[in-house]
């Protein structure tokens, strides 16, 4: 039953047209999965953004709280340090008879007691000691509490408080730089630690550097908007730039922060003097919402791109299959009418391309069989004609050498009778060259045979140029038995004589060398001819490297091609030349390649 169900489902699938199959694949395997994955990914990204922002807000809140608390504790610690200085107490609690006596004490004791702390504590704006000792002249860091000072809010605060250390925020006088009242936070300390030195009241007042405090709050504005609240629930300072010390009064904190904001609150330490002081941070959810919206826009863009690209690919592939299928169907219809035309389309390697390729092969074989029936007689006649032509070539190849050798022998007899010794030698060399060319049946010859053949050719050239030509051959004895392709050296020598010495004046010289290294056979042909410039060398190299070339330098090109053929491209072939100084042609063959050829040759023998 199950097998019948599977067959029925397969039959249904097979009946669906190809374009609808592509559409189903696109919907079920591309479009729906892409949309589902992007929706899930968007939800996960949004959740991660919320968690990350909450962590950043908590870190920012804790960092700002820690910095502000450290600022207060640092200056309170400074006030404790000053409060235990007995020398300072004695100098301030002393009744001076004259102002001169006070100035002397100031110079000796008081002057450097306080101002030295200004450079050590960066959070310190200024500090001073205020006393009701009327024998002290106000100035520097020491002040007599007159009527004006008694009317200030901070002095009234310290007089009315029973605490020894007080942290107090208040509105200071008009600032010369801002031309308006400014907010100030001061740490006030009652200097009464020594019971025997309480003749006069002594109060230490340390002013915080408000710019530094504002800088701490503003540094975290990317995540939170801060409010510094004192123990009277008043807003002392905010992180908003326009609110920094801009108001002439400190307002109480508002309980309404808006629906889109979240408030975080931290107490500033646990010390008694900081009781009631706290730092409030409010987070605006607009930023988080913007990040989520950006993520959503990005996901929508990616979803569109990831949907558009597969859609275009599906359309292109469907069009490609549909077009080729129609073409194949149309040509198969022609076959029924006896027209065997191949499908002319660009070759492809997919299944449809393989099907079209197989169809074209079938059509080609059918056309070939049909043409063979009509061409059989013509081929028979062509074969007969080729056989007759081959016989004529054999007769001609037997006639031409026989005629040439008879002619050379007649010339040799005449030259010998008349005493033409040099002509006799040239004719002998020419005869040997012709005989060698006709008798060489093997493609590989020893280096010894090749150099002898080249030497005979050079003897003829020496007869031609007489005293204006000379040559040397330096052949390493260990290299003589290595086999190389025949006619590997002589064409290089002939090329030097033909092209290098045309316009050469003076002695024309050719040097042929061959030697063996540890792993190479090196053969060099060097002349002192006219040479070539770099442009001409490049032309020669390009001409001998071309597959089909029928111009100049045919001899050197044949040498290069035979070496490349015999030694599988392992030969190094170099041409070096200097204009006016000569040319050097060198080829290097790995001994491993030559020994391999020798072994193969011996096996055949």
The winner for highest mean pLDDT among 1-5, 20-24, 36-40, 314-318 is 36-40
Angle between helices 285-335 and 18-26 (to 10 degrees): 170
Where residue 588 falls among pLDDT bands split at 50, 70, 90?
very high
Report the share of the chain in percent with pLDDT over 70: 77
**How many residues make up the chain in this entry?**
605
Q: Is residue 13 part of a domain?
A: no
Q: Is residue 482 part of a domain?
A: yes
pLDDT of residue 601: 43
pLDDT digits (tens, 9 = 90+) for 108-136: 888 888 888 888 888 898 999 999 999 99
Mean local confidence (pLDDT), 361-376? 76
The boundaries of the domain holding residue 539 are: 458-604
Query: Is the pLDDT reported for residue 5 higher than 70?
Result: no
Which of the residue ranges 67-76, 205-214, 274-283, 348-357 would you say has the lowest mean pLDDT? 348-357
Q: Is residue 255 part of a domain?
A: yes
Instruction: Say which CATH number the domain at 111 has.
Output: 3.30.450.20
* Domain end residue (candidates: 265, 286, 307): 286
3-state secondary structure of 181: strand
pLDDT digits (tens, 9 = 90+) for 223-237: 888 899 998 889 988
More confident residue, 596 or 324: 324
Contact (CB, 8 A) for 529 and 522: no
Locate 251 and state its tokens: 């307002």
Question: What mean pLDDT, rounded, does the chain reach?
Answer: 78
Locate 305 and state its tokens: 């791109």
Q: Is residue 302 part of a domain?
A: no
Report the share of the chain in percent with pLDDT over 90: 14
Instruction: Say which CATH number the domain at 594 has.
Output: 3.30.565.10
Q: Is residue 431 part of a domain?
A: no
Helix (H) or strand (E) holding 572: strand 572-578
- CA dist., res. 208 & res. 72, Å (int): 8
Query: Is the pLDDT reported for residue 441 higher than 70?
Result: no
Q: Is residue 507 part of a domain?
A: yes
Which of the residue ranges 38-47, 384-393, 545-554 would you say has the lowest mean pLDDT? 384-393
Q: Is residue 115 part of a domain?
A: yes
Contact (CB, 8 A) for 475 and 513: yes
Angle between helices 285-335 and 32-83 (to 10 degrees): 160
CA angle centred on 574, ends 572 and 575, rounded to 5°: 165
Task: State the pTM of this model.
Answer: 0.47
pLDDT of residue 515: 92
Query: Is the pLDDT reported for residue 450 higher than 50?
Result: yes
With 0-12 CB in 10 A as exposed, 13-18 as middle and 19+ as buried, what is 182? middle
pLDDT of residue 176: 41
Number of domains in the chain: 2
Of the candidates 122, 290, 282, the one whose C-alpha atom is nearest the C-alpha of residue 215 is 122
* Domain end residue (candidates: 231, 253, 286): 286
Contacts of 440 (CB under 8 A, 6+ apart): 486
* Domain end residue (candidates: 236, 252, 286): 286
Q: Is residue 365 part of a domain?
A: no
More confident residue, 195 or 324: 195
């Amino acid at each position: 039953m199950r097998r019948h169900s599977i067959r029925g489902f397969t039959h249904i699938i097979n009946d669906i047209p190809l374009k609808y199959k592509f559409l189903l694949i696109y919907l079920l395997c591309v479009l729906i999965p892409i949309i589902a994955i992007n929706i899930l990914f968007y939800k996960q990204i949004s959740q991660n953004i919320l968690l990350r922002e909450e962590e950043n807000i908590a870190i920012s809140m804790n960092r700002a709280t820690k910095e502000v608390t450290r600022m207060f504790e640092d200056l309170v610690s400074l006030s404790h340090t000053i409060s235990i200085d007995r020398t300072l107490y004695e100098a301030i609690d002393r009744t001076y008879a004259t102002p001169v006596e006070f100035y002397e004490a100031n110079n000796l004791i008081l002057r450097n007691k306080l101002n030295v702390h200004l450079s050590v504590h960066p959070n310190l704006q200024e500090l001073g000691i205020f006393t009701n000792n009327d024998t002290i002249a106000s100035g520097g860091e020491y002040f007599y509490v007159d009527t004006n000072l008694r009317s200030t809010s901070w002095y009234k605060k310290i007089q009315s408080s029973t605490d020894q250390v007080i942290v107090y925020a208040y509105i200071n006088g008009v600032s010369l730089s801002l031309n308006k009242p400014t907010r100030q936070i001061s740490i006030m300390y009652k200097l009464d630690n020594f019971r025997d030195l309480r003749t006069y009241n002594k109060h230490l007042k340390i002013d915080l550097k408000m710019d530094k405090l504002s800088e701490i709050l503003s540094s975290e504005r990317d995540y939170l908007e801060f409010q510094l609240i004192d123990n009277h629930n008043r807003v002392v300072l905010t992180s908003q730039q326009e609110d920094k010390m801009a108001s002439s009064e400190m307002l109480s904190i508002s309980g309404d922060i808006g629906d889109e904001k979240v408030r975080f609150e931290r107490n500033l330490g646990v010390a008694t003097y900081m009781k009631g002081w706290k730092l409030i941070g409010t987070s605006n959810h607009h930023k988080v919402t913007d990040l989520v919206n950006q993520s959503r826009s990005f996901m929508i863009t990616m979803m569109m791109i990831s949907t558009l690209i597969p859609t275009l690919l599906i359309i292109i592939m469907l069009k490609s299959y549909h077009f080729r299928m129609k073409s194949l169907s149309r040509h198969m219809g022609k076959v029924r009418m006896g027209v065997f035309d191949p499908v002319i389309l660009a070759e492809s390697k997919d299944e449809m391309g393989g099907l079209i390729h197989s169809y074209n092969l079938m059509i080609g074989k059918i056309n070939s069989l049909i043409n063979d029936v009509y061409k059989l007689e013509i081929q028979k006649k062509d074969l007969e004609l080729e056989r007759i032509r081959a016989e004529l070539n054999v007769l001609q190849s037997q006639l031409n050498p026989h005629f040439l050798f008879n002619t050379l022998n007649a010339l040799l007899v005449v030259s010998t009778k008349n005493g033409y010794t040099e002509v006799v030698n040239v004719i002998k060399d020419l005869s040997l060259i012709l005989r060698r060319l006709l008798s060489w049946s093997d493609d590989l010859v020893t280096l010894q045979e090749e150099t002898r053949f080249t030497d005979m050719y050079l003897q003829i050239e020496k007869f031609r140029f007489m005293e204006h030509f000379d040559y040397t051959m330096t052949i390493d004895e260990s290299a003589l038995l290595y086999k190389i392709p025949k006619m590997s050296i002589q064409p290089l020598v002939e090329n030097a004589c033909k092209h290098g010495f045309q316009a050469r004046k003076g002695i024309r010289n050719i040097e042929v060398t061959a030697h063996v290294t540890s792993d190479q056979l090196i053969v060099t042909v060097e002349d002192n001819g006219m040479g070539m410039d770099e442009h001409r060398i490049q032309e020669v190299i390009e001409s001998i490297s071309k597959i089909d070339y029928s111009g100049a330098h045919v001899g050197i090109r044949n040498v290069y091609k035979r070496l490349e053929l015999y030694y599988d491209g392992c030969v190094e072939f170099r041409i070096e030349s200097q204009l006016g100084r000569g040319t050097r042609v060198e080829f290097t063959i790995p001994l491993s390649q030559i020994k391999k050829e020798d072994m193969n040759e011996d096996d055949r023998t």
